[in-house]
Amino acid sequence: MVNSIKLATLPATGGQAFGEANYVVTVGYGTPKKNQTVIFDTGSDVSWVQCKPCVITCFRQREPLFDPSESSSYRNISCGAPECAALTSRGCSSSTCLYGVTYGDNSTTVGFLARETLTLTPSDVVENFVFGCGQDNRGLFGTTAGLLGLGRGILSLVSQTDNYFGGLFSYCLPPPSSSSRTGHLTLGVTKATKNISYTPLNLNLETFYYLDLVGISVGGLLLPINASVFSNAGTIIDSGTVITRLPSSAYTALRSAFKRGMSAYKSTPSETSLLDTCYDFSGLDMITVPTIVFHFNGGTDMEVDVSGTLYGISGSRFCLAFAGNIDDTDLGIIGNVQQRNLEVVYDTRAGRVGFGPGPCA
């Protein structure tokens, strides 16, 4: 199935050129292969691209739509196949399996479940890859072609290639201001094995990568947050969510400490409903930002890069790149902004996630 040496590295970039705040990679679908630029998402399993004939609706994408009729390796999957049974949301049309996915922001995709040849790199080719051929796609995908699912479920790319890449993958997400603006998504043995500190995954729930967050520090001081706040609904790490969401009481404590550390700077009204703590740095050549550190079970710390602390809104205006959930029982999410410039390593067989220092090489 895979002609591989158990290591495949794809360039990863911010999706700004595609009107998208998530991160993207370009892969090839079909025979002959057609390049498709997709969001890579550790918070979902099903990989999909928009497909002709777009029976219901497709959003506008930069690259030509994938046309399965032009591929010699495309095959629909039947309703009785185990891959169809593995779907959370499924249907059947003329004995062909239909998939459906609804994301946290209410974006959706519906289409045919199929097998196709997926080209990761010229020497890393996955045959009979199970994916979604999207015929009704709506929501916030920018002008990308779809999504690459890197979750823990059996239909994810990670699970489908476990025999070849050992359930290992890693990435480094470059900040928008970096000179090269190129990071990586690596399947298989990680590029950076040194200085990686691991924390165990909570393996009780499928798809998501649950971490045991136990505390947060701002400016070297541990915030007065009861650890039980983080365990109410749990915390996941998700490359497909932009801004980190914290339990409301944890966010309130973080915001208060951050404001104290930023008291020398001019605050400004927010231009977005999600981010509420904003500053205007006009005329300043340098700013000093309090360091934010996530503390995980096992003594593992994740220090947020300065590029992941403030989110640029417009010109010289930046906001604290965190948001509070409505309730402490809502799911906590560590988003991709907070993961910038870090080496994030997923070892699914060992049930752990690790963090190492950047910058992206």
Q: Which of 41, 45, 328, 347 is catalytic?
A: 41
Look-up of token digits 């010289």: 316
Give the model confidence (pLDDT) of 306-336 as tens digits. 999 999 888 889 999 999 999 888 899 999 9
Q: For residues 177 and 61, which has the higher predicted lDDT (pLDDT)?
A: 61
Any catalytic annotation for residue 301?
no
Give the Cα separation of 172 and 186 in Å (integer): 9
Structure tokens at 306: 């300065």
Structure tokens at 194: 């040194």
- The partner residues of 193 in beta bridges, in order of sequence, read none
Q: Which of 124, 238, 305, 347 is catalytic?
A: 238
Instruction: Provide the mean pLDDT of the chain.
Output: 93
Ramachandran sector of residue 200 (left: φ over 0; alpha: ψ -120 to 50; beta: rest): beta
- φ/ψ of 163, rounded to 5, equals -65, -20
Is 208 within 8 Å of 299 (Cβ atoms)?
no
7-188 and 197-354 share one fold: yes
- Mean pLDDT within 162-189: 88
Q: Is the pLDDT of residue 190 over 80?
A: no
Which of 120, 106, 201, 220 has the alpha carbon at shortest distance from 160? 120
Any catalytic annotation for residue 41?
yes
The CATH code that applies to domain 197-354 is 2.40.70.10
> Model-level pTM?
0.94
Give the model confidence (pLDDT) of 333-350 as tens digits. 999 999 999 999 999 999
- Mean pLDDT within 25-45: 98
Topology of 7-188 in CATH?
A: Cathepsin D, subunit A; domain 1 (2.40.70)
Give DSSP secondary structure letters for 79-104. Answer: TTSHHHHT-SSEEEETTEEEEEEE-T
Amino acid symbol at 216: I
Residue 208 is inside which H or E element, if any? none
Which of 173, 171, 151 has the alpha carbon at shortest distance from 160? 151
Q: Is the pLDDT of residue 22 over 60?
A: yes
How big is the CA angle at 236 (ends 201 and 100), to the nearest 5 degrees? 110
pLDDT at 194: 72
How big is the CA angle at 351 (ends 349 and 357), to the nearest 5 degrees? 105
- φ/ψ of 177, rounded to 5, equals -90, -5
Report residue 80's pLDDT band, with 50, 70 and 90 as the boundaries: very high
Which of 284, 290, 99, 302 has the alpha carbon at shortest distance from 215? 302
- Mean pLDDT within 66-85: 98
Is 67 within 8 Å of 114 (Cβ atoms)?
no
Domain ranges of the chain: 7-188, 197-354
Residue 241 is inside which H or E element, if any? none
Q: Is the pLDDT of residue 193 over 80?
A: no
Give the model confidence (pLDDT) of 246-276 as tens digits. 999 999 999 999 999 999 999 998 878 889 9
- Least confident interval from 23-32, 42-51, 179-188: 179-188
Structure tokens at 141: 């995908």
Q: How many percent of the chain have pLDDT more than 70?
A: 96
